[in-house]
Amino acid sequence: MKQTTKMASVFLIPLFCLLFSPSSAEIAAKPGVNYGQLGNNLPPPYRSVELIKSLKAARVKIYDTNPKILQALKHTGIQVSVMVRNEIITAIASNQTLADEWVTSNVVPFYPQTMIRYVLVGNEILSLPDNVTWFNLVPAMRRIRKSLKLFKLNKIKVGTPLAIDCLEASFPPSSGKFRSTVTDSVITPLLQFINRTKSFFFIDVYTYFAWVSDPVNIKLGYALLEPNVSSYTDPVSGLTYTNLLDQMLDALYFAMKRVGYPDTRLFIAETGWPNGGDVDQIGANIYNAAVYNRNVIKKFTEKPLRGTPLKPRVVLPSFIFALYNENQKTGPGTERHFGLLYPNGSNIYEIDLSGKTSEFTKKLPVPTNNEPYKGKIWCMAERGANAMVLGGALSYACGQGNGTCDPIQPGGKCFKPDSLRWHASYAFSSYWAQFRKSGGSCYFNGLGVQTTEDPSFGSCKFPSVTL
């Protein structure tokens, strides 16, 4: 998942290439964890590595090449995936010297003491509007691989994580098809590269986003991989599915088969479920997050291997998203609530990434938001926010016109109390109420907080969003 927003398209959502090849047995399942760093309150790398070990993670993926993290991972035996930043892909694609310099600076000083196994070129590139980068993706991957071979780092594989929007059709799974705008120009060369170098198709797959887009037709338990909830039979293939993850993965398998690469190996680069979110986001809670991640780990580590209905008995190496709740991620509240741990290092819920623990002792909190919230919601300014930053957000909200801030002008019904936070809260609520349907949010770069408590008083009435 991007370190910004986790886009999802429903139903026709699933994308992901599966693996099945004679070499599938060469890699063990061994789930790992994504170590994101978009937080201003996270433990230092050495402590984070201790916590990763406590979760019994066999792998870790970082979204850069942070030298302090790579140093802390030395001699741990944990397999490591590092990432080439999106911003430099186009430059590397046409410059072998630059690729060599990148490998010299970011891989050579740490290997093999730090067990770097994968260099991922970019993150969810096909989800970016910048299509120039799309067409430079595979050329950049070739450059990085050539550099790795130059330094005799032949055990390190090169890949790139894609998001679900690489498919334009995914339901039923047998209709799986890559986006026509990138099939010939990006996907086919990528699959050729992956198969020639015996690498993996890295995919970010979230049943949460598929379910939340259509909670009426998709049962929650089906998305959580709960047993004996429901089943779906593909009318074309005749394959029967008992959980949404398998359905999504097989859609990608069918897409790869359609372009002539049915046996490409799959690596799940991200999967997970949010443990919290905004008032208007259903199903994001600790209970569901724990159930999903525990079930996923059980599936990936089960013996004999389960695979999927289309590709049974295949290894599905994976990373769970994410290590921490990251408070500086942008977008809806769920973006900041995908962690296995709180920033202080304590567990949000019990989890064992090795899959060896099947029973957990602590009772999970009963979910209260599995059904859509029905009622009014207001958007308030966060307490203790920086005054200068809050003032800028206030100006932005008021600057959208439509009388958004008329009541907080001198003499207006909501002018008093004359405080920055009060005025900003009114402006946020007014802005959100007017512009939500056209994409406006209550986020305001982390300054806005949703509430179900009406802040109105007297003749001052705060606008609200009604769900």
pLDDT in tens, the chain (467 residues): 644 444 344 344 333 333 333 333 367 789 999 999 999 999 999 999 999 999 999 999 999 999 999 999 999 999 999 999 999 999 999 999 999 999 999 999 999 999 999 999 999 999 999 889 999 999 999 999 999 999 999 999 999 999 989 999 999 999 999 999 999 999 999 999 999 999 999 999 999 999 999 999 999 999 999 999 999 999 999 999 999 999 999 999 999 999 999 999 999 999 999 999 999 999 999 999 999 999 999 999 999 999 999 999 999 999 999 999 999 999 999 999 999 999 999 999 999 999 999 899 999 999 999 999 999 999 999 999 999 999 999 999 999 878 999 999 999 999 999 999 999 999 999 999 999 999 899 999 999 999 999 999 999 999 999 98
**Coil, helix or strand for 408?**
helix
The span from the CA of 148 to the CA of 121, in Å, is 13
Radius of gyration over alpha carbons of the chain, in Å? 23
110: left (phi over 0), alpha (psi -120 to 50) or beta: alpha
Predicted TM-score of the model (pTM): 0.91
Per-residue b/e over 34-55, b at no fewer than 16 CB within 10 Å? bbbbbbeebbebeebbebbeeb
User: What is residue 26's predicted lDDT score, i.e. its pLDDT?
Assistant: 60
Q: Where are the domains of the chain?
A: 22-336, 376-466
**Coil, helix or strand for 13?**
coil
Residues acting as catalytic residues:
124, 270
The span from the CA of 206 to the CA of 165, in Å, is 12
The residue count for the chain: 467
Residue 173: cis peptide before it, omega within 30 degrees of 0: no
Q: What is the DSSP letter of 363?
A: P
User: What is residue 449's predicted lDDT score, i.e. its pLDDT?
Assistant: 94
The residue behind tokens 């691989």 is: 145
Q: What is the CATH number of domain 22-336?
A: 3.20.20.80
